[in-house]
Amino acid sequence: MTLFRLKGIWIASLVCALLNLGGCGTSDMRDLDQYAQDILARPGGRIEPIPEIKPYEAYAYQSAALDARDPFRRFYQKDEEALVEEQDSGLTQAMQDEIQNRNKEELEQFELDSLRMVGTMESEDNQWGIIQDPDGAVHRIKVGNYMGRNTGKILNVFEDRIEIREIIRNSQGRWEERQAAIALVEE
């Protein structure tokens, strides 16, 4: 482009900008003022009164049955019957702590048979297993992690398998430990 053409474009854009700015300040505001006066001249409306607050009524709990659970007794304190029943169930304190008193890990949302071992990784002092979940995501696990829905604790990680101990209920309703393993899937 030539210098003359650039100067012409620059001057034309400057003239357009000045014309736009000039039109902003000379607008007629009479119709807006008239509308505001019409709104302000309208009569005011009626405001609804505050709703009446009902007084508190105390309620005395009475169970219909004599053997109903007292709702005011702490639910986490175990009575003697519950302790005897728990001891008969085969659930040890260590098992109970594993089931209830820890945060669930990500692989515990899947059934054990839906998880696949696809490899291992090794460093100087750690051996990890590589697990693929049903969604195709890959996870790194090591001894002490949990996987599967039956509180499956990882006991050993080998190159060809992962050994797991699960806590399950048998057909009589007693808790017991069961050994399981996931073998390496070779494709």
| Lowest mean pLDDT, pick from 64-73, 77-86, 89-98, 112-121 | 77-86
Per-residue model confidence (pLDDT) at position 121: 92
Sign of CA dihedral 150, 142, 182, 115: positive
| Highest-pLDDT range among 71-75, 77-81, 94-98, 149-153 | 149-153
Whole-number average pLDDT of the chain: 80
Q: What is the pLDDT of residues 8-25, one digit of tens each?
A: 777 878 777 777 766 655
Task: Set out the domains of the chain in order of their start, with CATH numbers.
Answer: 80-183 (2.30.30.830)
Q: Is the pLDDT of residue 150 over 70?
A: yes
Place of tokens 């309620």: 59
Mean pLDDT over 98-107 rounds to 83
Buried b (16+ CB within 10 A) or exposed e, 146-180: bbbebbbbbeebeeeebebbbbeeeeeeebeeeeb
